[in-house]
Structure 1
Amino acid sequence: MQGFLARQGILVAFAVFMIAFAVANPRFIDIDNVFGVIRSSAILGVMALGVTFVVIGGNLDLSVGSMMSFSTIVVLDLHDKIGPTLAIPSMFAMTLALGAFIGILVGYLKLNSLIVTLGMLSAIHGLTLTYSGGKNMDIADKSGTWFSVFGQGSVAGLPMPILIFAGLAIVLSIILSRTPFGRKVYAVGGNGVAATFSGIPRARVVFMTYLMSSFCVATAGLIQASRSLGSQNTVGQGMELEVLAAVILGGASLLGGSGTIFKTVIGVLILGFIQNGLLLLGLAFYAQYIVTWIIIILAVWLDIAAKRGGLWSRIA
């Protein structure tokens, strides 16, 4: 039993919160509400999938919020200029270029990831404002474009954002757990020096994690732009902290070397359902921030306590 809790403590915490909110308000487990929460969490979730690779690799990425704003604004602007068929790959290429630049600085030049991505947060925000001229973006003809399918479409009754989130989670989970590259990410994050002496190209692995993170950000930007067919130029501002919270809540260590895609998905859902549950309970929005923080701390505490076999550390 203790071994199960040590491995699946975050799932137990998730189940406890779901049961508690369902008892407090039966509408919480209504199927429409559940799908609504998952759909609204899809953008955050897609971004968290990419950041999971970065964190497991022993680094941080605080630029994803600004990068998402950039990708959203760019694809909306290019939609009317060159059409969605060319706008989407162009946006992905530009976003991947930003991720590659960060990967070079952190991977090959071995600069501190916190400093680099914190600086890029501001730099990309400035780039977004410069590109947009400080204005928000809207698609001119919102009724005559197929571009809305990514954010508003559905397949067999399932919203497209959920399908994209789920599909990407499955693919990235296989990459992380079943491929040599995934094992290299764990090795680099667990002990970078040992990985280097073992012949693992540490710089290349770190570079690729940032490239994967930027790909996920571009995908999130595509969903965001498609869902509203317009956007503020600060749409992703502050999301980097929510993304990091979801990844850490899912059990990934800030020291690197541990974490899974599946548990990151659980971390994303915990954040989404906590906010939804508090909303259904009628809690004022400013109080929700405090309660959400307390619940996150409790969830992480329960997970750690299950792994060490006690609620309190044995070290004084």
Structure 2
Amino acid sequence: MAGLTKQGMVQILARQGILIAFAAFMIGFALVNQRFIAMDNIFGVVRSSAILGVMALGVTFVVIGGNLDLSVGSMMSFSTIVVLDLHDKIGPVMAILAMFALTLALGAFIGFLVGYLKLNSLIVTLGMLSAIHGLTLTWSGGKNMDIADKAGTWFSVFGQGSALGIPVPILIFGLLAAALSLLLSKTPFGRRVYAVGGNGRAATFSGIPRARVVFMTYIVSAFCVATAGLLQASRSLGSQNTVGQGMELEVLAAVILGGASLLGGSGTVFKTVIGVLILGFIQNGLLLVGLDFYVQYMVTWAIIILAVWLDVAAKRGRLWSPIA
């Protein structure tokens, strides 16, 4: 009975521990600084987290499918630079379409390598991180990009506009999260993603086209990265060619915090959204209480370690290794 109770506690910690910690952070930050719970601050945090959140939605599919995608940061830089560069050359509409097409092509290439050629996703996407960064620098000539007529373009609506009093980036993040949540939880494709991530060999023997499912998860991820690139470019109407550098780790942290297992087969879009908000509010709270911005990196590292530990503990049914 005691063993069952202990195992139950481990399961509760694995499933709800991060939410409990998040609630504690929120209460603590609110007590230290009342501005933390002000509506303008809340909207500001969610808006600033929207780009990271949109990218995390796509990576959720990849991780649930049993793989990783470390190329999303460089790919977002590429998307941002491409749409800004083409905006003045072929107009905003064609620039957006071209950017989505090129980004999806990169996602398809990665999906082909991992899905059909069955190469290790960590190695492939780590290599693509550098390759796409080089592609971005080649496209931009090593220069940053800006839209010439910033005051006369409607392109800014995606990153700076609002509708019904809600910033457009938050609306896009919310609508995309809702659509992808339905895709993952209510469609045959979503069930196949869980099956492939949970046990790829069994899924193949069951008649599920494993390679195609993995390929499509990278297409979904690339679509989300292109959307994030659109938001980033529209928000500032200019960008450095390294704007997405390092974001792949933040994205992966948000997905893991949301409960997606690195072993594949578990996770939800809704919990990924929670993971994104956890990172956003914790970073905001640390700044409001007067801590330096670089403390965020140490706190994020500690949270990732805690999340991975709880995930592994849930799988083996105990907090500590049986050989410890």
| CA deviation vs aligned residue, 1:82-102 (integer Å, no higher than 9, x gap) | 000111111000000000000
For 1:196-211, list aligned pairs within 5 A.
196-211=204-219
Distance change in 2, residues 1:307/1:127 (3 Å): closer
Distance 1:63 1:297 in 2: 21
TM-score scaled by length of structure 1 = 0.95
- Tell me the matched-pair count: 316
Work out whether 1:194 is the aligned partner of 2:202: yes
Distance 2:27 2:316 in 1: 25
| 8 A Cα contact 2:256 2:304, kept in partner | no
The list of structure 1 runs, each at least 4 consecutive aligned residues, that deviate by more than 6 angstroms after superposition, is 302-310
Distance 2:258 2:287 in 1: 23
Which residue is equivalent to 1:157? Answer: 165
Work out whether 1:37 is the aligned partner of 2:45: yes
Compute the displacement of 1:14 (Å): 2.0
| 8 A Cα contact 2:15 2:259, kept in partner | no
For 1:38-187, list aligned pairs within 5 A.
38-187=46-195
| 8 A Cα contact 2:52 2:276, kept in partner | yes
Distance 2:20 2:312 in 1: 12
| CA deviation vs aligned residue, 1:135-182 (integer Å, no higher than 9, x gap) | 000000000000000000001110000000011000000110111000
In structure 2, the residue corresponding to 1:61 is in which secondary structure? Answer: coil
- Residue of 205, 211, 218 corresponding to 2:226: 218
Which residue is equivalent to 1:10? Answer: 18
TM-score scaled by length of structure 2 = 0.92
| CA deviation vs aligned residue, 1:11-66 (integer Å, no higher than 9, x gap) | 22221221121122211111111110000000000000000000000000000000
| CA deviation vs aligned residue, 1:102-139 (integer Å, no higher than 9, x gap) | 01000001111111101100000000000001000000
- Residue of 237, 252, 255 corresponding to 2:260: 252
Distance 1:193 1:156 in 2: 48
Distance 1:211 1:303 in 2: 27
- Residue of 293, 299, 321 corresponding to 1:291: 299
| 8 A Cα contact 2:146 2:237, kept in partner | yes
Which residue is equivalent to 1:274? Answer: 282
| 8 A Cα contact 1:6 1:307, kept in partner | no
Letter matched to residue 85 of structure 2: D
| 8 A Cα contact 2:100 2:226, kept in partner | yes
Which residue is equivalent to 2:5? Answer: none
Compute the displacement of 1:10 (Å): 2.9
Distance 1:40 1:140 in 2: 24
- Root-mean-square deviation (CA), in Å? 1.9
- Residue of 220, 236, 250 corresponding to 2:244: 236
Letter matched to residue 278 of structure 1: L
| CA deviation vs aligned residue, 1:200-219 (integer Å, no higher than 9, x gap) | 00000000000000000000
Of 4-13 and 33-42, deviating more is 4-13
For structure 1, which runs of at least 5 residues remain unmatched after alignment? none
Distance change in 2, residues 1:6/1:115 (3 Å): closer
Letter matched to residue 169 of structure 1: A
Distance change in 2, residues 1:197/1:260 (3 Å): same
Work out whether 1:262 is the aligned partner of 2:270: yes
| 8 A Cα contact 2:33 2:289, kept in partner | yes
| 8 A Cα contact 1:73 1:231, kept in partner | yes
Distance change in 2, residues 1:236/1:190 (3 Å): same
| 8 A Cα contact 1:63 1:240, kept in partner | yes
Of 16-25 and 163-172, deviating more is 16-25
Of 252-261 and 2-11, deviating more is 2-11
In structure 2, the residue corresponding to 1:115 is in which secondary structure? Answer: helix
In structure 2, the residue corresponding to 1:284 is in which secondary structure? Answer: coil
